[in-house]
Amino acid sequence: MSRSKRLAFILIPFAVIAATCFLYFIRPQEPEAIRRVRSAYTQKQYAQAFNQAATYLKKDPASNEASLWMARSARRLKRDQVANDLYSKMSNLGSSEDLYLQGDFFLRNNRLREAEKFFRESNLADPSHIDTLKALTENLYRTNRPAEAFYYASNWSKADPKNVHPAVWLGQIYQALNDAPAASLQFSNALKLNPLLEGSGMTPSSARKLLARNLLRQSKASEAQSVLAELTPNTPDREVLWLQSRSELQLGHREQAIDKLNQSKLAAADGSEIGLLEEPAAYTGAKSCRECHLGIFDDQQTSRHALTFHLGTETRDLPWNGLHKDDPHIEKNSSEFDPHQNPPKWTVTNQGVEYQTLVKYILGSGRHAVTPVLTDPNGEPREARWTYYASIHGWDITPGQPQQPKNKADQLGILQSPDMLRLCIGCHTTNAFSILNQKGPESLDRGIGCERCHGPAGNHIAAIKLGFPDKAIGRFRRNSSGSRPQAMQMCAECHGTQGREIAQETNAATVRFQSTTLTFSECYKKSEGTGGFDCLTCHSPHDNAKIDPAFYDMKCLNCHQPTGKVTPDSSPTKTCKVSPAKDCVSCHMPKIDSIQPHAKFTDHYIRATGHR
């Protein structure tokens, strides 16, 4: 190396240091008062920061820094009018802190869409902003988007690894996703990080119960017992005792399991039903039910519930024909699909250029429709743009698909987020997690299996083998009043609005939400607490719904007796004046068109004809 180059290498570091010192001394120095405001705000002393900023503004009303810190402090103190006035005079508020605070303001005012928009913008501005990660985690989880919540909770945990709060949320998220091993790990980590779970929003007792439940879901009874043994409440805890009975049951200890179960019943001072608790057990697959429930098993396995999901390799088993259609909304665009081809390829031709992909899943039994889920060239799942409709024996555009796709990939169909795909598969299978990960015996079920409605059967099988007095199957039991409080909830998971509010009127947009619209009916309202009127009153979950109107007329006439008889609660029922002994459902529960093309559904909002 030449002498001049060696000299340059020596002088460069000195030049950098000199430039840094020069910039430091010539830049405008932040006033000491503003530094104190910043320090107080950083230490979450928001009232102090607010007062100090207000004091400074009296001396220098033009100070943008003081106005900004005062606005932030006001928002943190929920003095929103002051914050709004100050923020309205500022521009270019693109920092993650200010975007987060705007989102928090909208969240507190129940304007959830605007809140999420600002939270996402805040995260883009600073992916490690803790409050934003916390807000996105909590709000996505609460709006049934656990897969998306997992992304932000994971980043939150990485950004603040000593904080127990994200570990608790990750445990709940994994539990919502039905990933018991991961949920167990996170609850265990949370208790190790901070045994008191301070600031997490969850008590140590609740976390240990959830940890025990998830261990029992993996048949890790001994580990669950150890976790429960650390809970020593002053008064008997019926849930802890009940979980201990399940631990003993899984270990094969019949007498100990009975003893804990009896103690749990005695501790249930509120009179709630022990048997209605969700059963913490391992899945065993629908075939495990066949040995004892042969007739029911055979009926269920040939019903449409069991045929509502197929893997892409099973296309030839469905009652549909091939697709060869020109797209009516896209110029020079067509789609082709041959269900008998192996592997089942889906081809879109646009302007003479072919895009080819494979069918991953198939949703629908074929009674009304069948919609494929495709895997695009990037491996992402897409709801197919075309659906097969049984009533026309052919294909038409899938509901919700845009007339003009945004890009070429969207011509295959709408991209499915992990949560969207999980929800879709969850209504067509026993356990979406097992399908998506191809794990567990329930992944071999045909569509919806026994455990989708009755819950995991591991404890039930153990109970039957041991002669345990509790059958240990969690759902659809009648309570002391004779009603089945879980039946409507269970059916509504797929035949309801999933928490979305809808108007109390049945039309094309709501007719498919049968479990929700049924609750609008006086028949349902007046029967609550008297033995129950629910989905199972008219439908067997093990068979296809009957199609003979006379069958349902008889169900109506069981209560609406034309002879003037009364209902079990001794309240007289009204009888139809037009046709007191027949034609009930044709008038009061007619079939109407749905927004789903080529399909009619029965109106489950039972009303007098004059209300139509």
For residue 124 the two structure tokens come to: 């883009």
CB pairs under 8 A, 24+ apart, for 330-337?
330/404, 330/405, 330/411, 333/411, 335/385, 335/386, 337/372, 337/386
* pLDDT for the residue numbered 448: 95
Least confident of 25-29, 64-68, 234-238, 468-472: 25-29
Instruction: Give every CB contact of residue 57 below 8 A, 6+ residues apart in sequence.
Output: 63, 66, 67, 70
Residue 572 has pLDDT above 70, yes or no: no
* pLDDT for the residue numbered 267: 85
* pLDDT for the residue numbered 476: 66
Residue 425 has pLDDT above 60, yes or no: yes
- Phi, psi of 358, deg, nearest 5: -115, 155
The letter for the amino acid at 353 is V
Residue 323 has pLDDT above 60, yes or no: yes
Least confident of 67-81, 84-98, 288-302, 596-610: 596-610
Mean pLDDT on 336-353: 90
Residue 272 has pLDDT above 70, yes or no: no
Least confident of 24-33, 431-440, 492-501: 24-33
The letter for the amino acid at 490 is M
As a whole-number percent, the residues of the chain with pLDDT over 90 amount to 65
Delimiting residues of CATH 1.25.40.10 domain(s) in the chain: 1-91
Least confident of 37-46, 78-87, 293-302, 556-565: 556-565
**Residue-wise pLDDT tens digits, 251-267:** 999 999 999 999 998 88
* pLDDT for the residue numbered 559: 82
Least confident of 6-20, 67-81, 343-357, 517-531: 6-20
Residue 535 has pLDDT above 70, yes or no: yes
When mean pLDDT is compared over 65-69, 552-556, 560-564, 575-579, the highest value belongs to 65-69
**Which of helix, strand or coil describes residue 480?**
coil
* pLDDT for the residue numbered 611: 47
Q: Which residues are 363's β-sheet partners?
A: 309, 371
Between 246 and 20, the higher pLDDT residue: 246
Least confident of 191-205, 459-473, 521-535: 521-535
Q: What is the dihedral of CA 579, 584, 588, 591, to 10 degrees?
A: -130
Q: How far apart, in Å, are the Cα atoms of 264 and each of 213, 242, 257, 523?
A: 16, 5, 11, 36
What is the residue-averaged pLDDT of the chain? Answer: 88
As a whole-number percent, the residues of the chain with pLDDT over 70 amount to 88
Environment class of 477 (CB within 10 Å of its CB; exposed 0-12, middle 13-18, buried 19+): middle
Mean pLDDT on 103-118: 96
* pLDDT for the residue numbered 25: 46
Residue with tokens 């949320």: 169
Q: What is the dihedral of CA 46, 49, 54, 56, to 10 degrees?
A: -170
**CA atoms of 449 and 495, how far apart (whole Å):** 16
Q: DSSP state, 582?
A: S
For residue 546 the two structure tokens come to: 């009957």
For residue 328 the two structure tokens come to: 């009516």
* pLDDT for the residue numbered 569: 47
* pLDDT for the residue numbered 533: 84
Instruction: Give every CB contact of residue 541 below 8 A, 6+ residues apart in sequence.
Output: 300, 305, 453, 491, 535
* pLDDT for the residue numbered 119: 98
**Residue-wise pLDDT tens digits, 541-553:** 899 999 899 999 9
Buried b (16+ CB within 10 A) or exposed e, 446-475: bbbbbbbbbbbbbbbbbbeebebebebbbb
Asked if residue 494 lies in contact with residue 544, where contact means CB atoms within 8 angstroms, the answer is no
User: In 289-417, which ranges are continuous DSSP H helix?
Assistant: 294-301
* pLDDT for the residue numbered 612: 47
- Phi, psi of 310, deg, nearest 5: -140, 150
- Give the pLDDT band of residue 315 (cuts 50, 70, 90): confident
Instruction: Give every CB contact of residue 195 below 8 A, 6+ residues apart in sequence.
Output: 204
Segment holding 491, helix H or strand E: helix 485-495
**CA atoms of 363 and 371, how far apart (whole Å):** 5
For residue 79 the two structure tokens come to: 């003095």
Mean pLDDT on 6-14: 54
For the chain, what is the largest distance between any 2 Cα atoms, rounded to a whole number of angstroms? 116
Residue 415 has pLDDT above 90, yes or no: yes
User: Quick one: fold of 1-91?
Assistant: 1.25.40
